[in-house]
Structure 1
Amino acid sequence: MDIIRELNGKSETMNCLKCFIILGCLREYLEPFIEEEITVFHQLMSEQCGCVPCANNCNFSNWNPTHNQPIPPFDCEVCTAWRDAILTHHSNQNGKVIWTNSKPHLWSQDKWQVAKVYMPNGHKNHNSLGDFDIAALLCLMNQCKHFEKFKLRGLCEKVSFVRNSIMHSPNYQLKKKDLDNYMKRIRKLCNVLVKHHPNFGSLSREIDEIQRLDLTLLARDNQAQNEEELEDKLVAALEVNRKTQNTQDLLGTEVEELEKTLSERDEEIKTLHLFYKEELKAVEQEASEPLWMKMVKFLGEKVRQVMSEII
């Protein structure tokens, strides 16, 4: 395909793709770190505000976020306490706080409903860690004061700039020097976080490997893109897997029967061994008797027979 050949001839396009890949890697490394820290943060908030569920099903349906009403009002003590605590831990208290990202009646029960208040707009229907992109996670770390203890010192904003520059690039072109600069920003963030979570050390090595990659796009065969053919290939693969499984089950059964047979034969061999051992012992005892002893036994037996006939 001409478009594939054209893209492969543009190193700046490949640089942009590398940056996408590295941002994806960063997100994967951030996930377990943020999962742990948001859990801790929500537990601390529960100790402060309580973990009693909201009984009024509070929401923002009647709230108009204007300058005259910058903070959502509640007639619920539970949600009011959580609202105030969430705002206290927000680094942008006097600016725009995206309350409508969350469902207030779940604040005391769901840590991600709390976390979403510290994220940019657009996450109202996102409810788990896997729903949030790298921009949301960086914003969370930047706007939630819980993360101040890690002393990131604006590093999240610098990495957010990298993400925004790539996402909003009109032609997805990135010069080599800009790629190197962006990678330095991500490395600096990792160098701080690795002090608290050692797994970030591996990310630096992955960045090196990705930067050295010679990326080449491959065009797929047109027939392979045919939906019907792909379905046939899937069915064939499943059939092969089924036959393989049946063969494995059959072999497993045969192995079990063979093991049982060998076990029974082993018992028979042990029984025969004991029998012949006793026989051999008797023969050895008989062979060890002196000749005169055998004659005495023979004569004694004859005397008993004669006596029994007389009597």
Structure 2
Amino acid sequence: MCEEYLVARLNDREYASWLKAGRCLYILKDVLHNFTNEQMQGFHQALLRMNPSLREQCQQSCQSGDIKLSRACSPCLQWRSEILNHHRQPNSNLNWDNCIPSAWRTRHWELAKAYMPRGQGHVNAVDQCDPSALLNLINFCDCFASVNSYKNSSCVRELIKCRNHLMHSANQHVSDAWMIKFKLALQHFVRLFSEVRGMQLAENMITRMLAVDLSISFTDAVDYNGEELATDSVIDDVTPELITKWEADLIREMLWELRQMAEDETMDSNQLKMLDNFLQKNKDLKAMFSPELQAISTLGAGQKKI
């Protein structure tokens, strides 16, 4: 019975495109793990070398609220200043709630979280990040300027826009026209970061993912460079269980983002309603995500109910 729901979803062309686009972002995320981790380690060490006072221990177990209200201790306020100095848009609202200020001195990934979207407070390592977290880190922290220069930054921003469109697609559909834009954004990003270790393999995996027909059979396709692919160039060992995992990764990310908006009282109740309708129609996915959906619905009870 569960596979019947899956087959119906995958025979919907625009749903399959949504799923493949999301999977491409996760392939990209995985190859960016080592790169972003190494960059942030080097950045953290460089800050400590250039400003020895940053080595001083936090004096009062400062919290994110202390940073926002500028009532933190002197070492933590110095870290705050350095974070802003290296932020490409320091006048924007930084998500200090992501951070434990007292840990900036010793944990480079706690520093990285200051440049990420909200909701990263639970993240303790690079491999726990979703695609949005890493793309925003690269976009906003100037320690990536050697690759992502101001001249090239539009490339990263365009991919972030694509990711946001994908996650805010309440009916889990994207059009053929949107996929063309997405493939172009991917192509530009991959070329910009071509020297990153493992990016060539990721590019091959992305090309194969975009080529695969998830509906009935694997067919000839064209990669995002316009080159024809042979029928045996598609992804091997694509099982229903693996595809369901891909779906779960994306839906979990959507639900997490909706939860953050519900907590901030900025949730789009229509998006939640459409996601609820989608899960109601797909009993296999509903069984996995009903508790999370109900929790978000409860948080958003003060807004328009689904």
- Coarse TM-score class (shorter-chain normalised): 0.5 to 0.7
Report the CA distance between 1:15 and its aligned residue. Answer: 1.1
Deviates more, 1:139-148 or 1:4-13: 4-13
User: Does 1:8 find its partner at 2:10?
Assistant: yes
Q: Equivalences for 1:160-309 in 2 at 5 Å?
A: 160-194=160-194, 196-216=195-215
Q: Equivalences for 1:3-152 in 2 at 5 Å?
A: 3-50=5-52, 51-62=55-66, 65=68, 72-76=70-74, 78-150=75-147, 151=149, 152=152
Larger Rg: 1
State the Cα deviation string for residues 75-98 of structure 1 (Å, max 9, x = none): 33x222212111100112122111
* Counterpart-to-counterpart distance in 1, 2:174 and 2:65: 44
* Counterpart-to-counterpart distance in 1, 2:240 and 2:205: 26
More helix by share: 1
Report the CA distance between 1:126 and its aligned residue. Answer: 1.5
Distance 1:219 1:56, change over 3 A: closer
Task: State the superposition RMSD in angstroms.
Answer: 2.1
State the Cα deviation string for residues 27-52 of structure 1 (Å, max 9, x = none): 00111110110111101111123323
Report the CA distance between 1:22 and its aligned residue. Answer: 0.6
TM-score (norm 2): 0.64
Aligned to 2:245: none
Amino acid at match of 1:160: I
* Counterpart-to-counterpart distance in 2, 1:183 and 1:15: 11
- Contact persistence 2:35–2:197 (CA under 8 A): no
* Counterpart-to-counterpart distance in 2, 1:17 and 1:62: 41
Distance 1:175 1:61, change over 3 A: closer
Q: Which consecutive unaligned segments of at least 5 residues does structure 2 have?
A: 217-238, 242-306
Distance 1:112 1:5, change over 3 A: closer
Distance 1:210 1:57, change over 3 A: same
Report the CA distance between 1:62 and its aligned residue. Answer: 4.9
* Counterpart-to-counterpart distance in 2, 1:207 and 1:136: 20
* Counterpart-to-counterpart distance in 1, 2:240 and 2:97: 44
Give structure 1 regions of 4+ aligned residues with deviation exceeding 6 angstroms: 217-220
Report the CA distance between 1:164 and its aligned residue. Answer: 1.1
Structure 2 SS opposite 1:170 = coil
Distance 1:5 1:59, change over 3 A: closer
Structure 2 SS opposite 1:19 = helix
- Contact persistence 1:49–1:85 (CA under 8 A): no
- Contact persistence 1:183–1:207 (CA under 8 A): no
* Counterpart-to-counterpart distance in 1, 2:64 and 2:8: 50
* Counterpart-to-counterpart distance in 1, 2:15 and 2:32: 26
* Counterpart-to-counterpart distance in 1, 2:120 and 2:203: 30
Structure 2 SS opposite 1:149 = coil
Report the CA distance between 1:181 and its aligned residue. Answer: 2.0
Q: Which consecutive unaligned segments of at least 5 residues does structure 1 have?
A: 221-311
Structure 1 SS opposite 2:146 = helix
- Matched residue pairs, number? 212
Percent sequence identity over aligned pairs: 24
Report the CA distance between 1:56 and its aligned residue. Answer: 2.7
